[in-house]
Amino acid sequence: MPLAVSIKKMIVKFDFPLKAYNTFGMDVLCARFIQLDAEEEIHELDKANVFDSPHYILGGGSNTLFTNHYNGTVIHPAFKGIDIMDEDAESILLRVAAGEEWSALTDYCREHHYYGLENLVGIPGLVGSSPVQNIGAYGVEVKDCIEKVEGYYTGNMQEFSLTAPQCQFGYRNSLFKNGLKGKAFITSVWFRLSKVPHFNLTYKALANAMAGVEPTLENIMDTVIGIRNSKLPDITKIGCAGSFFKNPVIPRAQYSELLEQFPDLVSYPIDEEYVKLAAGQLIEKAGWKGKRIGDAGIYPFQALVVVNYGNAKPEEISYVYQRVIFDVQQLFDIRLNPEVNIIA
């Protein structure tokens, strides 16, 4: 690995502990850690050939499981900024730097009354990560508000500016997880938000909680936070990375067969041929909800969440998630796929 002697001003550390940089709390080291406090510093990384050797861009570390020490460079974008790029009577266009906390953006929306991201309040992580897995919650996906994503192709340092359709967003998926995986550095995300009240109450749990209440930006955000707190662990107390698995999409024919044995299986329509099931329910039926092996386990209030109760080692977390996959496959003949990035 080239030494970082040419990298000026930036925070560069060697054999750096990542425990405080991943919400799973995995106590692993990385060979080199570089924090970027200004967008332009990416050019210093290029000059030092950082992108030619193993590297991983780590945002808030809330969707990553390190299964071992990382023998490469972890690059942590920490540059911030929310700028208004365009505005009319009905909408506003914001350019938000990749290193901005997602919660800072939703706080900003709450303060200025910009509508669109309220159902996504409370999601941990950085803005630059949000398009990568197309974060979603309570009937809204971030793609619904993204106008474009800017950054650099790390292979040649060409800048890119990709519109939402070009980003090929899907359920917990995008071009950045496929064709551009490991090849792009996102510097900013542009959001088109509404200045006029406009709510999405299609998600049943949210609609139920809001029944009889006149929706406002504030009460939707507060309700979403309440629902999240009732189901998901407080990451400041219990290590986890939110939903560990994606909800599986299966053929309708297979779903009909499963219903004979499991008549209460929840499903969401995808199209004529496919339905999406609730992985949490499958895991619960496989007997894993609330199960704990040492300090690793499955959260008692939402079986989609793999948790570290304290000092679980990466191999213990890996054992639990692989056993869950195995048991769900045995019971339903459905293979669960992790939603979390698993870094070897």
Q: Footprint of ligand EPU on this chain (CB under 6 A)?
A: 137-138, 203, 205, 231-232, 242-243, 246-247, 266, 278, 280-281, 284, 289, 302-304, 339
Q: Are 267 and 289 in contact (CB under 8 A)?
A: no
Catalytic pick from 62, 129, 243, 318? 243
Measured between alpha carbons, how far is 227 from 241 in angstroms, rounded to an integer?
17
Closest to ligand EPU by CB, 303 or 312? 303
Told to judge if 172 belongs to the known catalytic residues of this protein, a careful annotator would answer yes
Closest to ligand EPU by CB, 44 or 141? 141
Measured between alpha carbons, how far is 101 from 123 in angstroms, rounded to an integer?
10
Q: Are 280 and 298 in contact (CB under 8 A)?
A: no
Provide the edge-to-edge strand list for the sheet that holds 82-87.
Answer: 82-87, 91-97, 184-194, 146-153, 158-163
Told to judge if 41 belongs to the known catalytic residues of this protein, a careful annotator would answer no
Told to judge if 90 belongs to the known catalytic residues of this protein, a careful annotator would answer no
Supply the minimum distance, in Å, between the C-beta of residue 302 and ligand EPU.
Answer: 5
**CB contact set of 76 (below 8 Å; sequence gap of 6+):** 21, 33, 34, 35, 36, 57, 58, 59
Closest to ligand EPU by CB, 198 or 231? 231
Closest to ligand EPU by CB, 92 or 303? 303
Supply the minimum distance, in Å, between the C-beta of residue 277 and ligand EPU.
Answer: 8
Give the total residue count for the chain: 344
Closest to ligand EPU by CB, 22 or 243? 243
Q: Are 90 and 194 in contact (CB under 8 A)?
A: yes
Cα 100 to Cα 11, 88, 243, distances in angstroms: 18, 24, 22
Structure tokens at 89: 């009577």
Q: Are 100 and 82 in contact (CB under 8 A)?
A: yes
Supply the minimum distance, in Å, between the C-beta of residue 331 and ligand EPU.
Answer: 14
| C-alpha Rg value of the chain to the nearest Å | 21
Measured between alpha carbons, how far is 340 from 130 in angstroms, rounded to an integer?
13
Catalytic pick from 172, 174, 192, 228? 172
Supply the minimum distance, in Å, between the C-beta of residue 158 and ligand EPU.
Answer: 31
Closest to ligand EPU by CB, 53 or 173? 173
Q: Are 280 and 302 in contact (CB under 8 A)?
A: yes
Residues designated catalytic: 172, 243, 339
